[in-house]
Structure 1
Amino acid sequence: MTVAVTGASGNLGRLVVEALLREGSTPVVAIVRDPQKIADLAERGVDVRQAGYDDPAALDRALDGVDRVLLVSGTQFGERVAQHTNVIRAAERAGVKLLAYTSIPRATENSLILAQEHKGTEAVLAESTVPHTILRNSWYWENYFGGVGHAIETGVLHGAAGEGRVAAAARADYAEAAARVLTSDGHEGKVYELGGDERLTYAELAQVISEASGKPVRYENLPQADYNAALVQAGLDAGYAAVLADADAGIASGILDVDSGDLQKLIGRASTPVVDVFRAALA
């Protein structure tokens, strides 16, 4: 059995490839736009193939002989449903026996800006002839790394999540779950709602950052519009700032508070402690 991972040079894709290599039970194909970015993986025996999500012919070549594939959601917002559809159609033509897709919690009912292209992709998969599994990943703790330095420096973590809880996990935990789906049976037709054990409010997250850094950090909640404006003032692109502020509003509503236990069942353990994730990053 041969398994493939798309977007294999990205943060999540590479971790999935690494998890598959540790598993060591199946040949691994890594699909990327620029093979030079993962030349080291090729040296370790990974079959590196070049294809972008917007190149159907290249995707056909990349999926030739592949039995199972992980479609890691793309990063070109506004183009993702069409690009993901290209991968799904190529998987159909290749006779792929299982396609796993990285989505977002409660995608069919999730009102977040970030959720809409996931919802669209899931709709395409629902009508597809390729057997599939949906991996609805909640937040990555790594999503907060960009602002943790400022929070430590100022002693304040800003956000607009109110008292909402986010069931995030380390990116590597989600990667391990994806690798398990690709290398074991019984996942066809399943939708996994994946989230970590620690379902934290931002006030609790601030305490974690304090513990990891050894410096006091408190949480200050802002109205969504004010947080959006603060992000723009800090230099973020206006569109990206709106997405982040919208995500915090979603956390406030509970949309990313996942307590299914699906992640833990797939990886066979508790999720990596959040304080360990931040300690490693700060080190």
Structure 2
Amino acid sequence: MTITVTGATGHLGRLVLEELRGADVVAAVRDTGQDLGVPTRLADYDRPETLDFTGTDALLFISNRELDKRVDQHRAVVDAARAANVGLIVYTSITKADTSPIPIAPGHKWTEDYIQASGLPYVFLRNNWYFENYTANLAGTLQNGAVLGAAGNGRIAAATRADFAAAAAAVLTGKPDEHAGKIYELGGDEAFSLGDLAAEITARSGTEVVYRDLPEDEYAQTLIGFGVPEGFARALAASDTAISQGALDVVTDDLRRLIGRPATTLAESLQAALKNA
């Protein structure tokens, strides 16, 4: 069975390739000059003529990161998958994509709807937030002594990218009819608030860290001051407001069942990140 992974040079894509080591895998990428340990095929979402998934039994469609281009790019990928008659399209979506108030959710809902309309067998992996959203800049958090946000007491059922990659690999290598038509709400086994995150960082690091909850606009302006592009900063701040309303407080056993073990905990994720902070 041939598996094609789009976006394979990204953080999640590379982890999926590691999980699929030994399988018949093709990496569909914009830059074919990188050594990913598997055959590569040019696949530029902005150039539909490069999207050729011929011979693909299972396609992992990792959503793009360019929000303003998402609909056009995603349409091109799905059209190419349909033209190639791929056996299964597995799409990385977001928690409760059909109802979520998070600003990036509408693009995911549109893509899910378009995939369903294509007639292709599909699986939707609705991923919650990554722990790495909070641990990637852990050194800065420790230096400033604060986690900043606008999420109030909202809770997040995050998991690591590695956990989400393992779930994707499990679906891609499963029996042909085992997962088709399924929508998996993937996330950690326990949800946490940003206040919990600050307390856990304090406990694990020995450095006092507090959570500073800011109004949405003030948080956006703070992010802009840190050099985050304005559009992205406002999307992040609005996402936090959605989190305060329960958008990511979605705990299921879908991730645990797919990967065959408990999801990585907040404490475990922080412990690993602190080694590199």
Within 1, Cα distance between the matches of 2:186 and 2:131? Answer: 13
SS at match of 2:95: coil
Cα deviations by residue, 1:150-198 (Å, 9 ceiling, x for unpaired)? 3211222111111110000000000000000000021111111111013
Match of 2:139 in 1: 149
Partners of 1:96 and 1:146 lie apart in 2 by 35
Counterpart Cα distance in 2 of 1:78 and 1:8: 21
Quote the Cα distance in structure 2 between the aligned partners of 1:149 and 1:161. Answer: 21
Q: CA separation in 2, counterparts of 1:222 and 1:263?
A: 32
Provide the aligned length of Structure 1 versus Structure 2: 273
1:110 to 92, 95, 100: 100
- Cα distance in 2 for residues equivalent to 1:190 and 1:49: 28
Q: Which amino acid aligns with 2:31?
A: D
Matching residue within 50, 57, 64 for 1:58 = 50
The reply to whether residue 257 of structure 1 matches residue 254 of structure 2 is: no
Match of 1:282 in 2: 274
Q: Unaligned 5+ residue runs, structure 1?
A: none
Q: Specify the alignment match of 1:220 in structure 2.
A: 212
1:236 is the counterpart of 2:233: no
Q: Which runs of 5+ in 2 are unaligned?
A: none
Aligned match of 1:208 in 200, 203, 226?
200
TM-score by length of 1: 0.93
Aligned to 1:28: 25
Q: Paired residue for 1:137?
A: 127
Amino acid at match of 1:17: L
Q: Which protein has the bigger helix share?
A: 1
Contact 1:211/1:275 (<8 A) preserved: no
Q: What's the C-alpha RMSD, in Å, of the aligned pairs?
A: 1.3
CA–CA distance in 2 between the matches of 1:235 and 1:267?
A: 37
Task: Specify the alignment match of 1:87 in structure 2.
Answer: 77
The runs of 4+ residues in structure 1 deviating greater than 3 Å are none
**Structure 1 residue 50: deviation in Å?**
1.3
SS at match of 2:68: coil
1:127 partner SS: helix
Alpha-carbon offset, residue 202 of structure 1: 0.7
Partner residue in 2 for 1:4: 4
